[in-house]
A and B are shown apart, each in its own frame.
Chain A
């Protein structure tokens, strides 16, 4: 599609914040496995000379002064970067309704959300406006919209992909990853963007997690967790069919127990706002971005941040300030860090016995626009199945698993640290690639 064709097609869904005109420099970027492929990037990934606003008014006129490492890699592989996609402000949300630049709609049903926070990237791939897209996943922001839009979404192992040039939400959880139509394409894009990077000291080497276990087609299901309350009947029914499909492909299905996994979401909603409140302290109206004048320098901060941040960002920064404040730090943040380690160790133990863990990606199909905007806790629960992989740093992929009515559903496979290879094998077999 030409940029103009994308702009016309995108009028319904508003997946893109900006569709770029052809780059005069394109020919000089490079040629490789992505030559001829069109790739969209989430609005929190820096592409030199282009705007990057993270869906926030506070970065309304911010132009990226350098390329994110993933963008450098896309260029070197020959990709055409077609535009920047809409997102919940600073990746805070599960519906792409928290963007300062309007709501994105689900291409399968324009009255429903595309998921979030990378809803624009998911929608752009689902409706064929680009071949592939990049998103970021802090608590499910790639996998949940992938499920809602019927595409493949991968969150790599923590540290696998450089975050240099990604606008940070929660640095102990954030990872960049691909949206694609097939698992094979996800593997191709993953191989392009991964790798240790001197510009991101949290990146890991190829040898960081040596394979401990040979892939032997054993899938574990945390049965109590997937049968917890609030799971839609359509999701339960689809999940049973998925189990049968894996059995018919020669997989052994085992029920497993992860006793503390049910605390993942609570843990997440302490750690994430804590880190967000710290990361977002840099937006002060002095160095870059939106500035609102007050009577003195301190009032400049209050007015800039009060007006520049949207409601969800204000909510999470204030919540994060609370859990880090004197008197509550140990009680909340300390407990959450301890729980994070406990959950991680349970997963590490589980992956000594199974190759993959299977859950639905989301407890329901895509919900209606506006349905959860007035109840933040209900919105947070949309991430119940995706958050554990971020807490434990594990690679995890959402794969289309069927439809209910016209709405797509997804299943989620999670593997041990560094074992993206297992996700690709099982995912390709499941989709018959």
Chain B
């Protein structure tokens, strides 16, 4: 993977990195992808179901619950807004988008 590819991935991930870091990541990724690439092409003898063997429909399933029992409105509002880097009243403040 070359430096430009790394810079493009960093852009997709919304992370600012410098040329030097991109250069060193590109050689590290070469080693890491070489190693993890072992899993490619190791084909399984049969298509595998989503569930683990012996627990089809039990081990892996969607867990749903009724949309009930909310906490008291406003209970966490102040605690959560306190954590925001910028706020205006009960809103989190961001720069103009449009």
Q: Do B6 and A318 touch across chains, with their CB atoms under 8 A apart?
A: yes
A315 to B21, CA, bound (A): 10
For B33-73 the 0/1 string (1 means CB < 8 A from A) is 10111111110100011001110001100010100000000
CB contact under 8 A between A62 and B25, given known A263-B38, A269-B32, A332-B40: no
Is A224 in the interface zone, CB < 8 Å from B?
no
Interface hub of B32, B33, B37, B97 (most chain A Cβ within 10 A):
B32
Minimum CB distance partner of A339 in chain B: B39
Which of A83-91, A248-256, A300-308, A425-433 is the contact stretch? A300-308
List residues of chain A with CB within 8 A of the CB of B15: 302, 305-306, 309, 314, 317-318
- Give the total number of A-B pairs whose CB atoms are below 8 A apart: 142
What CA separation (Å) do A116 and B48 show in the bound complex? 33
**Contacts A263-B38, A266-B39, A341-B52 hold; do A318 and B95 have CB atoms under 8 A apart?**
no
A22 beta carbon closer than 8 Å to chain B: no
Please determine whether B17 and A306 come into contact, CB atoms closer than 8 angstroms: yes
Residue of A nearest to B64 (CB): A201
- What A residues does B97 contact at CB under 8 A? 297
| Nearest neighbor of A336 in chain B, beta-carbon distance | B39
Contact of B83 among A63, A300, A319, A325 (CB under 8 A): A63
Task: Closest A residue to B51 by CB, please name it.
Answer: A341
Partner-contacting stretch, out of A4-12, A126-134, A144-152, A281-289: A281-289
State in angstroms the CA–CA spacing of A309 and B97 once bound together: 24
CB distance from A261 to the nearest CB of B (A): 12
Task: Please state if B79 and A65 are interface contacts (CB–CB under 8 Å).
Answer: yes
Chain B residues in 8 Å Cβ range of A377: 28, 31-32, 35
How far is it, in angstroms, between the C-alpha of A338 and the C-alpha of B1 when the chains are bound? Answer: 25
Comparing A74-82, A342-350, A363-371, the segment that makes contact with chain B is A342-350
Tell me the complex Cα distance, A376–B49, Å. 34
Query: In whole angstroms, how far apart are the Cα atoms of A417 and B94 in the complex?
Result: 46
User: In chain B, what residue has the closest Cβ to A200?
Assistant: B63
Is B12's CB under 8 angstroms from A321's CB?
Answer: yes
CA distance A372 to B28 in the complex (A): 13
Count, chain A residues at interface, CB 8 A: 61
Q: Which chain A residues lie closer than 8 Å to B63 at the CB level? A: 201-202
CA distance A376 to B31 in the complex (A): 9
Q: Which of chain A's residues 251-291 have a Cβ closer than 8 Å to chain B? A: 260, 263, 265-267, 269-270, 277, 281, 284-291
The answer to whether B36 and A270 touch across the interface, beta carbons within 8 angstroms, is yes
Q: Which residues of A contact B59 (CB under 8 A)?
A: 208
Q: Which residues of A contact B86 (CB under 8 A)?
A: 291
A269 touches B35 (CB 8 A): yes
Q: Contact at B42–A339, with CB atoms within 8 Å?
A: yes
Asked if A348 and B40 sit within 8 Å, CB to CB, the answer is no
Question: Given A336-B39, A338-B44, A339-B42, A376–B32 Cβ distance below 8 Å?
Answer: yes
Would A266 and B35 count as touching, CB distance under 8 A?
A: yes
Q: Within 8 Å of chain A (Cβ to Cβ): is B2? A: no
CB atoms of B80 and A65 under 8 A apart: yes
How many Å lie between the Cα of A319 and that of B38 in the bound state? 16
Chain A residues within an 8 Å CB radius of B94: 286, 297, 300
**Contact between chains at B84 and A342 (CB < 8 Å):** no
Residue from the set A208, A291, A318, A341 with the largest chain B CB neighbour count within 10 Å: A318
Q: Please tell me if the beta carbons of B40 and A303 are within 8 angstroms of each other in the complex.
A: no
Residues on A with C-beta less than 8 A from B90 are: none
CB A171 to nearest CB in B, in angstroms, measures 14
**Once the chains are docked, how many angstroms separate the CA of A360 from the CA of B33?**
26
B89 shortest CB reach to chain A, Å: 16
Residue from the list B16, B49, B52 in contact with A306, Cβ < 8 A? B16
Residues of A with C-beta under 8 A to B6: 318
A residues with CB within 8 A of B = 62-63, 65-66, 198, 201-202, 208, 260, 263, 265-267, 269-270, 277, 281, 284-291, 296-298, 300-303, 305-307, 309, 311, 314-315, 317-319, 321-322, 325, 331-332, 335-336, 338-339, 341-342, 344-345, 348-349, 376-377, 380, 417
Q: Knowing that A266-B38, A289-B83 touch, tell me 15 more A-B residue pairs with CB under 8 angstroms.
A: A66-B76, A208-B59, A287-B83, A288-B80, A300-B94, A302-B16, A305-B15, A305-B16, A314-B15, A315-B25, A315-B28, A318-B10, A318-B15, A332-B40, A377-B28
